[in-house]
Amino acid sequence: MRRRRLVALRGPLGLSHVRKLLGQPRHLPRQPVDLFPLRNHRLVQIVDHLILMGDADFKRVDAGCICHPLLIAAGRPACKYIDHGKDAGRAPIPRTKRGRMTDYRFSVAPMMDWTDAHCRAFHRCLTKSALLYSEMVTADAVIHGDPDRLLREDPACHPTALQLGGSDPAKLARATIIGASWGYEEINLNCGCPSSRVQSGSFGACLMAEPDLVADCVAAMRAAEPDLPITVKCRIAIDDMPARETLFTFIDKVSAAGCNHFTVHARKAWLKGLSPKENRDIPPLDYALVAELKAERPNLSITLNGGITTIDECRTHLKVFDGVMLGRAAYQNPSLLGEVDAAFGWEGAPVVSAHDAIIAYMPYMADQLERGTGLHAMTRHMLGLFNSQPGARAWRRVLSERAPKPGAGLDVLDAAVEAITGHAVNIAEV
């Protein structure tokens, strides 16, 4: 019976495809094949298919751990589902429901070295409705690196989007499958970063000059995960290229490949002559050009990025655009995020105070400390929480001086809160 099922599975989701993905030899194993934490959407489909065909020995698996499909061929389908590695015994992240993200009204930009998993967990304590982006991860890193370190996301952080960097359609397609299997609601392609490091890898803002290549990349990513939104973040142009012609040509060609949501940083990127930091401020903003793009391409969803610093500015821009994206303003003054749900979320959503966010973040911090994460890796994202408020300097000083020390615990955070308010958070209650 099992052999007939295997024959039925040959083809796009058959064992030959499994062997190719896993790098397995052509012969079938005669001994039990161990389990391992494999995150691959197509392999999950295979096991789900077997469940639907009535194989009671198989249980529902998720993105965190999966049985080796070749166990079926070895005649040993009965097995326990465990996760090996440093997170052994930890409940794997459940696969999230797929579906196009329709609410792009407010998002936090992907920022290298800033918007890591700890940062996103903190930001989620301030806003439940904002779309959060990962820092950029290269396709090669996703394919060859440690996915648990690069891609694991706290389940409470969703909705989140994974930003990929790359220019090889095949690699981006493979990275998209891997990223999707970790539960991200969107995969975003970076076509806006101007750093020399990114340019040397032939991706980022330099791709604005190669819209046909970007279209090929998007098409490959869409084919790999047709039910997942594939989006692009870009500039209006680079260097001496004419802004309007460059932007419209780029958007038209890439949207024809299947991308219908773009986040546009309303500045040029000068790849020669300006540093990445200077590229964030010196090139003038051209909101009017992006507004013209939205007016002439009303079928596309356009998020505006660049130079937006307040909730009131967000409200103004949302009269024209489908969404707004904040970067440094949200990171350096995270209390701003506490206003997002009340302004753009659900009716009756509260404003989240800085102290409420700290209390909400503490269980996550405690869990991470138990896993060996240093306190500073988390508190560094909180330094601006009380900016422009009395005691902000004392708050930053306590965290900056004491959090990096070996063995630092939540008592440091309690001391920082006490320094700014005179009232310590009762850690025992959280």
Strand, helix or coil for residue 186: strand
Token pair listed for 371: 């896993």
SS3 323: strand
Q: Is 79 a catalytic residue?
A: no
DSSP, residue by residue, 385-427: TTTTSTTHHHHHHHHHHHTTSTT--HHHHHHHHHHHHS----G
Rounded Cα distance between 258 and 103, Å, is: 19
Residue with tokens 């079928």: 299
Residue type, 108: V
Q: How far apart are CA 87 and CA 37, in angstroms?
A: 10
Instruction: Select which of 65, 67, 119, 193 is catalytic.
Output: 193
* Rg of the chain in Å (alpha carbons): 23
DSSP class of residue 310 equals S
301 - beta bridge partners?
261
Which strand (E) or helix (H) includes residue 138?
A: strand 137-138
Q: Which residues lie closer than 8 Å to 51 by C-beta, 6 or more apart?
A: 58, 59, 60
Distance CA 244, CA 375 (A): 46
Residue appearing with tokens 């997170």: 87
| Residues catalogued as catalytic | 193
